[in-house]
Chains A and B, each alone.
Chain A
Amino acid sequence: DVVMTQSPLSLPVTLGQPASISCRSSQSLVYSDGNTYLSWFQQRPGQSPRRLIYKVSNWDSGVPDRFSGSGSGTDFTLEISRVEAEDVGIYYCMQATHWPITFGQGTRVEIK
Chain B
Amino acid sequence: EVQLLESGGGLVQPGGSLRLSCAASGFTFSVYAMNWVRQAPGKGLDWVSGITGSGGTTYYADSVKGRFTISRDNSKNTLYLQMNSLGADDTAVYYCTKADSQGIHYWGQGTLVTVSS
Beta-carbon contact of B102 and A103 below 8 Å: no
Residue from B45, B95, B105 in contact with A106 in the complex, judged by beta carbons closer than 8 Å: B45
Known: A94-B103, A100-B61. A48 touches B109 (CB 8 A): yes
Contacts of A99 in B (CB 8 A): 59
Cα-based distance from A96 to B59 in the complex (angstroms)? 13
> Across the interface, do B44 and A101 meet the contact criterion of CB distance under 8 Å?
no
Also in contact, A51 and B104, with CB within 8 A (given A100-B59, A100-B61, A101-B50): yes
One digit per residue, 1 when the CB lies within 8 angstroms of any chain A CB and 0 when it does not, for chain B 29-67 equals 000000100000000111100100000000101000000
Minimum C-beta distance from B89 to chain A (A): 17
Q: Among residues 15 to 50 in chain A, which have CB atoms less than 8 Å away from a CB atom of chain B?
A: 37, 39, 41, 48-50
Q: How many residues of B contact A (CB 8 A)?
A: 18
Per DSSP, chain B at the interface is strand
Given that A49-B45, A103-B44 are known contacts, is A96 also in contact with B103, CB under 8 Å in the complex? yes
**In the assembled complex, how far is the CB of residue A18 from the closest CB belonging to chain B, in whole angstroms?**
24
Q: Does A72 contact B (CB under 8 A)?
A: no
Give A84 to B116 CA distance when docked, in angstroms. Answer: 40
In the complex formed, the residue of B with least CB distance to A51 is B105
Could you tell me which residues of chain B, from 93 to 117, have a CB within 8 Å of some CB in chain A? Answer: 95, 102-110
A101 touches B35 (CB 8 A): yes
Kindly list chain A residues whose C-beta atoms are within 8 Å of the C-beta of B104: 39, 51, 94, 96, 101
Would you call B45 and A103 a contact (CB within 8 A)?
yes
The yes or no answer to A67 lying at the interface (CB within 8 A) is no
Partner of B103, one of A39, A49, A50: A39
Interface residues of A (CB under 8 A from B): 37, 39, 41, 48-51, 54-55, 58, 60, 90, 92, 94-96, 99-106
Closest 3 CB pairs between A and B? A96-B103, A54-B102, A48-B107
Having A49-B45, A103-B46, A105-B44, one finds 13 other A-B pairs with CB under 8 Å, namely: A37-B102, A39-B102, A48-B109, A50-B107, A54-B103, A58-B102, A90-B44, A94-B45, A101-B104, A102-B47, A103-B45, A104-B44, A106-B45
